[in-house]
């Protein structure tokens, strides 16, 4: 069965500090996608990244970086030099890749980490 665990329920850091959000996943599949989404107070989900299980390269996008460690089934997300606008709930998610019926795949979300950036 698939499962995504975000052990950190809530984190508060002072602006400009770096912060890492943890994500650990479980799946029996060898091929899957991992995602991070941001949900600001307004509620909409903002796509941040999708990572294919074949690609273990870490990724950096501006102040955001992601560390994918297949050996530990983790896909952690780091924000460097945090800003108040980064305050939001961040969800890690997992989706299997089914080549034969790819339209039927679905995303399983972690419980989210509520991030507070204090000015």
Partner 1 sequence: GAVVSQHPSRVICKSGTSVKIECRSLDFQATTMFWYRQFPKQSLMLMATSNEGSKATYEQGVEKDKFLINHASLTLSTLTVTSAHPEDSSFYICSARAGTGSYGYTFGSGTRLTVV
Q: CB under 8 A: which stretch of 14-22, 40-48, 58-66, 73-81 binds partner 1?
A: 40-48
User: Looking only at residues 12 through 31 of this chain, which bind partner 1 when binding is defined by CB under 8 A?
Assistant: none
HEC per residue, 90-106: EEEEEEECCCCCHHHCC
CA distances from 116 to 68, 84, 119 (A): 24, 8, 10
117 in contact with partner 1 (CB under 8 A):
no
Closest CA to 94 of 9, 19, 37: 37
CB of 108 to partner 1, least distance (A): 7
User: Per CB under 8 A, does 41 bind partner 1?
Assistant: no
By CB under 8 A, is residue 108 in contact with partner 1? yes
């Amino acid at each position: 069965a698939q499962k995504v665990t975000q052990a950190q329920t809530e984190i508060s850091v002072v602006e400009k500090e770096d912060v890492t959000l943890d994500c650990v996943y479980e799946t029996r599949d060898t091929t899957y996608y991992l995602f991070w989404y941001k949900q600001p107070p307004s509620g909409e989900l903002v796509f941040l990244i999708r990572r294919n299980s074949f690609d273990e390269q870490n990724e950096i996008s501006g102040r955001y970086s992601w560390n994918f460690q297949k050996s530990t089934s983790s896909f952690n997300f780091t924000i460097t030099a945090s800003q108040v606008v980064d305050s939001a709930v961040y969800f890690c998610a997992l989706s299997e890749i089914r080549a034969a019926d790819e339209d039927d795949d679905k995303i399983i979300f972690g419980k989210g980490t509520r991030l507070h950036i204090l000015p």
